[in-house]
């Protein structure tokens, strides 16, 4: 892994709370790399639109962390 590359386990999984995971479990598991990877464009769009999570929008730095993980190849 290149220096600065973000991984799901180290950098992304913790962005999603237990509450977020529970609410989305019907569609996919926000703590499962494969599920988040496979739905990343849709998740990013909802984060950017402020539709996700349901109680308050993420701050820009958290959205950028998710976007950076995507750009970096969505490493596990």
- Are 70 and 40 a contacting pair, CB within 8 Å? yes
Stated length of the chain = 76
The pLDDT score that the predictor gives to residue 28 is: 96
The pLDDT tens digits of the residues spanning 27-74 come to 999 999 999 999 999 999 999 999 999 899 999 999 999 999 999 999
Residue 63, both tokens:
């959205």
SS3 54: coil
- Are 8 and 36 a contacting pair, CB within 8 Å? yes
Residue 2 has pLDDT above 50, yes or no: no
């Amino acid at each position: 892994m290149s220096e600065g590359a973000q991984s799901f386990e180290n950098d992304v999984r913790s962005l999603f709370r237990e509450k977020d995971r529970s609410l989305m479990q019907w569609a996919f598991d926000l703590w499962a790399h494969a599920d988040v990877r496979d739905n990343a464009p849709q998740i990013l769009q909802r984060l950017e639109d402020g539709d996700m999570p349901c109680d308050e929008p993420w701050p820009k730095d958290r959205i950028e962390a998710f976007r950076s993980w995507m750009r970096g190849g969505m490493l596990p």
